[in-house]
Chains A and B, each alone.
Chain A
C-alpha cells in the first residue's frame, strides 16, 4: 500500500480552543482558589485549620451524592430523587443502628440501591425520560420516609456507644473519616471513568446514544448501573449524615438534588451529557460549601444570600460553558 497520508485536519484556532477547553474543565477550580484566597485575607477566622476541615467535613455529605450524580449527568440523564433518597438513607441507618452496626450500613444501602435500580430499569428498558421517572422516585422515597417515621414525628437515635457513630464522628490523623471516604470514593470514581469500559460507555451514551447503540455497546445495562449507583451513593450520604448527627433527621435533603446538580454542572460536567470529570464535581461541591461558609462569616448577612449567590454563579458558569463550547468548535 502506498503511503497516502491524510494529514490530521485540526480545526483552526487550535490554541484558543485548547484554552477554552481548559477553562471549561478547570473554571470552577480557578473560582474556588480565588474564593479561598480572598476569604482568607478578608476574614481572620476563615483560613484557620479548624474552619477549613469543617468546610471539608460539611461538604463530604454532598460530595458523596454528587459523585453518583456526576455519572448520571454524564450519561445524559438526571436524578431528581437523590435528596429524598439521602434523607431516607439517613432514617433507615438510624433505625438500623438499633439492631447493630451492620444493619445500619446494609439496610439503607440495599433499600436506596433498590430504588435506584428500579428507576434505572424503567429508564433503560422502558425508555421513559429520567426527569419524570426520578421525580416519581423523589415522591416515593419521601413518602416511604414519612411512613416509617410516623409522618416525621419519630426521629430514630443512634444508640450511644454504637460503633456506627464512629464512622462519621471519628477520624484519622485529625481528619474526619468522611473526608477520607470522599477522597477514596472520588479516586475510585476517577479510575472508573477513565480506566474502565463502563466509564467510556457512560460518556458514549451521554454524548451520542444512537452511536453507542450502533457500536454495540451495552446502553441499557450502563444506565441501569449508573442509576443504581446514584441511589446507593445518595443513601450512603444519608447514612454518613445519620452517623454524624447520631440520628435520622427526617427533614433533610429537601431541594438537595438541585444543589447536587448545581455542584456537578459547576464542576464542568455538561448538563447535556457526554463530558465531565469527577474531580470537577468535588470542586463544585467545595465551592458551594465555601460560599455558604463565607456568608456565615459575615454575621450580619441573611443566610439566604447563599442561595442567591450560588444561583448567580451557576448561571454565569453555564453561560460561559456554552460560550466556550462554541469557541472550541470554531
Chain B
C-alpha cells in the first residue's frame, strides 16, 4: 500500500483554478458561520478542507453546492461568477457532492441510482434498462468495484454504496467532486479503493475537495490543505509543508510555542484521587466507532476525554450511557455491572449524561424551568400517576439556588433563559436523579464567557462533593485545567492517558496529533 508522502503528486501550480470563493461571509441568526473566506481549488488537485466542529467547513461546502447562498462575497466556477439557488443547479453545472451519509435511494437498483433523472432512453422515450445496466456496470468496472448493478442499493455495504455515489458523480461528468467525510464509515480496504478512485479522477483533471477527521488520510491523499477556524481561513498551503502538530495547532487556534499558558478557566486544583473507582469501563466496542476503550473514574475526580472531532469522544459517553449499541465491553458503577444498551438501567445505576446537543436532546423550550428540571424525577415522585407537586417544588427550589440559575422564577419558560442558564437547568435535571457518575459532553459550548466560568466552577464543585465526572471539551484549556486526568482518544481507541506532569497543553496537543513521544505512526492496514 502507499505511504503518506511518496504518492503526493507534483504540486498543481500552473493549473487553472476551477472553483473559488472570494470573501464569502454567511451568518445564521446572528451567528457568523463564515467570515470572508477565500478558497481556491485547482483542476486535478485533491484539496483537504480541515477544521474542528463549528469551524465553518459544512457551511462552506453548502455555499459551494448551492444549499446556502453567501451573504457577501462571490463564488466563481470555471472562470465565471455563479450563483446557485439549489443543489440541482450546482450539480448540473458540474459540482457533485458525496456526503458522509450516502444520499441515494436504498430501494432502487444500483444502476437506477447512478442514472436517476438522466436515464438512457429508447426510441419510444422509455428507460433503456439494458443500456442503463450496461453503462452502470462499465462505470463500476472503471472504478474497480465489482457489484451487481441490478441489485438494490440498500443491500450493499456502506463502502460499496459510497462507490456508487462516486460512480454517479462520474457519470455526470463533474469537474468538481466534494467528498464530505466519505471515509468515516468505511473499512480500511474500502478506503484504499476510494482513494484509488479519487486519484484516478484527479488524474483526469477533476478538482476534489476532501473532508476527513482521520488526519493520516490527509497526507496520504491530498495535495493542498485549507484550514478553517471559527468561520475564518487560518491556513492554506501545500499539504506536505505542514506537519501534524502544526496542523492541529492551526485547527485549535494555538501557537505551538504558546501552549504553556494557563489560568484562563475557572477550574480549581486537582481533586482527591485516593478512592476506589466508581466508574470502570473496559473493552468498550461500538461498530465502526470505538475499539477497546477503557478508563476509570474515581469519586471526586474529573476525567477529561480529549480528541479531535470524530475520535469517538461523544460515542464513548453515549455507549457508557447505554444510548449506543455496544458490541463488547463492560461498564460498571461501584463494582456492579451496568446492563449494556439500556439507558433506563444506566440511569438507575447512577449514570447521567448531559448531551452535546442540548436543543435536540435535552431542553424542552416551552416548558418552565421547574417542569424541565422535574422531567427526570417525575417517575420517582409519582404515586399511581399522581405527582407530588410540593416535593418537586422543594427540590427545584434547592437546585435553582445551588446552581445559581438566573430566572425570573421557577415558572419562567426555559426558552427565555440565556444559553448558560439553560445548560444549568439541564444539569439540575440530571442532578435531581442523584447520579454517581456525571457524563458532560461539551457543557460550555455555545454559552457566553461569564456563564462558562460559572458552569466550570459548578463542575468543580460537583466533583468536590464526590461526584465522578467525565468531561468532554474541544477547548484545550478547559480540558487541561478542568480535568485531573485526560484520556486522549484517536480513531476510536485510547491513544494515551495524561496525568500529573504530563497534564499540559503541549502534551495534549502532541497526543491529539498522534505525533508525540512514543507514538508510532498510525497504520490503517
Contact = CB atoms under 8 A, between A and B. Distances in A.
Nearest to A74: B107
Interface string A193-215: 01111011101100110111111
Interface stretch (A7-15, A39-47, A174-182, A285-293): A7-15
A2 B193 CA distance: 10
B116 A196 contact: no
Contacts of B144: 1-6
A207 to B, nearest CB: 4
B117 A197 contact: yes
B91 A215 contact: yes
A275 interface: yes
A195 B193 contact: no
Contacts, number: 111
A217 interface: yes
Contacts of A2: 144, 196
B105 A9 contact: no
Contacts of A210: 103
A126 interface: no
A283 B108 CA distance: 22
Contacts of A218: 117
Contact of B105 (A7, A194, A199, A204): A204
B29 to A, nearest CB: 21
B152 to A, nearest CB: 9
A207 B145 contact: no
B1 to A, nearest CB: 10
B127 A6 contact: no
B116 A213 contact: no
Given A4-B196, A8-B156, A208 B129 contact: no
Contacts of A10: 155-156
A274 interface: yes
B199 to A, nearest CB: 8
Interface in B487-515: none
B36 interface: no
Given A210-B103, A216-B87, A5 B145 contact: yes
Given A196-B126, A215-B117, A216-B117, A9 B156 contact: yes
A191 interface: yes
Contacts of B159: 6, 9
B127 A212 contact: no
Nearest to A210: B103
B364 interface: no
Contacts of A6: 144-147, 159-160, 163, 189-190, 193
A5 B107 CA distance: 24
B160 A214 contact: no
A207 B160 contact: no
Contact of A211 (B89, B105, B112, B160): B105
A8 B117 contact: no
A295 interface: no
Contact of A208 (B105, B125, B145, B193): B105
B105 A213 contact: no
A322 B504 CA distance: 54
Contacts of B151: 8
B160 A196 contact: no
Contacts of B99: 214
B290 interface: no
Contact of B108 (A5, A8, A203): A203
Contacts of B156: 8-10
A204 B117 CA distance: 10
A252 interface: no
A7 B146 CA distance: 6
Contact of A201 (B103, B116, B157): B116
B92 A208 contact: no
A17 interface: yes
Contacts of B117: 197, 200-201, 215-218
B126 A4 contact: no
A174 B196 CA distance: 65
Contacts of B116: 197, 200-201, 204, 212, 215, 217
B442 interface: no
B146 A203 contact: no
A210 to B, nearest CB: 7
Nearest to B110: A8
B200 interface: yes
Contacts of A212: 105, 116
A106 B382 CA distance: 65
B106 interface: yes
A195 B105 contact: no
Contacts of A208: 103-106
A326 to B, nearest CB: 13
Interface of A: 1-11, 17, 191, 194-197, 199-201, 203-204, 207-208, 210-218, 274-275
Q: Nearest 4 A-B pairs (CB), nearest first?
A: A9-B157, A216-B88, A211-B103, A195-B126
8 contacts: A6-B145, A194-B127, A195-B129, A196-B126, A197-B119, A208-B106, A210-B103, A215-B103
Interface of B: 86-89, 91-92, 97, 99, 103-108, 112, 116-119, 125-127, 129, 144-148, 151, 155-157, 159-160, 163, 168, 189-190, 192-193, 196, 200
